[in-house]
Structure 1
Amino acid sequence: MRLPLIAPDALTEAQKPLYADMKAGISEQFDAFKTVDRNGALLGPWNPWLHEPKIGGAVWELTKAMSLHSVLPDNIRQIAILVVGVDFDAAYEIYAHVAIAESDGLGQARIQALLAGEKPDDLTPDEETAHDVTFALLGGGSLPDDLHEASIKAFGAKGTYELITLVGLYCLVSVTLNGFDVPVPDEED
């Protein structure tokens, strides 16, 4: 890990409100995996965001908006997030979202296929659309018209906007995790 964890008693005045907001949001939204160490330091992408509160706070606001105002079903979100995490080989993202996908009932066979970089063969049409849109966006270039139209049909304009933005957000999360070499937490942490 390239940035030290920041214990609550070492927070600067600029970091304290962001820490409090992230810790509260994390406890409401992300309880299927380890997000805080035994000293109260935030793990995952939240630690790097905390190091630079102006930038990290902006990313956190986007993360909250994407989580609290989602129109996409959880299975669609988790498929997209796992496709991104696997593409970037972002260890903490994969760790966290496998846990969420398991708690959401995505199924081990589907999760294992996604982790292998494959499209599960039992996806619903909407899940397949989410997978294909995500995969296409990760490949670069403009999203093909047929996939955009399929997404509009499956999720509506707002859901399509959310899916595209979700892919972008988790690309940012993955790059943050990889750039700062954020590990999966040890069991005893």
Structure 2
Amino acid sequence: MRLPLIQPNKLTQEQRRLYDDMRAVIASHLNTFRTETSDGALIGPWSAWLHEPDIGGSIWHLAKVMTTHARLPDDARQIAILTVGAHFKAAYELYAHISVAEASGMSDERLSALVAGGRPLDLNEAEGCAYDVAYSLSRGGVLPEPCYARAVKLFEQTGANELIYLVGLYCLVSVTLNGFNVSVPERI
């Protein structure tokens, strides 16, 4: 990692507030993979965000809302997230969300196709829509109208909005992870 991990006893007051909020949400929603070292230093994107608490706190707020107020079906969310992570080859994102998807029962065949950048053959309509939106947006350009219309039809406007924001968030997470060369811990 290009930025040093910040030990909990070295956090500024502003970093400490952000750290405490991150740990609370992580503990309740993201507990299938490693998010900190044995001495409590956060790893993954959270570590990078702590270095710039004004910017990192804003990104964290979006990530927290997208996690705690999710309305999209979880399988569709994970497919979108893994599709973005595969596009960017964001190792920690793939590590984390493979773990989340495995815990929810996603098959090895589906995971293998997604992380290899492919479209699994067994997607239901909602999952296929999430894949198509994430695939299209992560490659740049305007989301094609049929993809957008299908997302609105399946998820209603609010869900389609959430899917687009989710893809944008995980593009940002992927760039953060890749920009700071965030390492992947051993799987637990």
Normalising to structure 1: TM-score of the pair? 0.97
Query: How far does the alpha carbon of each residue in 1:55-110 deviate from its partner, in whole angstroms, 9 at most, with x for none?
Result: 01001100111011111011000000000000000000000000000001121110
Match of 1:158 in 2: 158
Give the length in aligned residue pairs: 188
Aligned CA RMSD, in angstroms, stands at 1.1
d(CA) in 1 for partners of 2:5 and 2:56?
Answer: 15
Once the two structures are superposed, the pairs formed by residues 1-189 of structure 1 within 5 Å of their partners are: 1-186=1-186
Query: How far does the alpha carbon of each residue in 1:137-159 deviate from its partner, in whole angstroms, 9 at most, with x for none?
Result: 11211111111110011111010
Corresponding residue SS for 2:43: coil
d(CA) in 2 for partners of 1:187 and 1:83?
Answer: 20
d(CA) in 2 for partners of 1:41 and 1:185?
Answer: 13
d(CA) in 2 for partners of 1:113 and 1:187?
Answer: 20
Q: 2:177 is matched by which residue type in structure 1?
A: L
Identity of aligned residues (%): 53
Shift of 1:126: 1.1
Moved over 3 A (4+): none
Question: Could you list the runs of 5+ residues in structure 2 that have no partner in the other structure?
Answer: none
Question: Could you list the runs of 5+ residues in structure 1 that have no partner in the other structure?
Answer: none
1:56 to 1:111, Cα distance in 2 relative to 1, 3 A: same
Shift of 1:187: 5.9
Q: 2:90 is matched by which residue type in structure 1?
A: A
Corresponding residue SS for 2:183: coil
d(CA) in 2 for partners of 1:32 and 1:186?
Answer: 13
d(CA) in 2 for partners of 1:126 and 1:9?
Answer: 45
Normalising to structure 2: TM-score of the pair? 0.98
Q: 2:8 is matched by which residue type in structure 1?
A: P
d(CA) in 1 for partners of 2:105 and 2:121?
Answer: 17
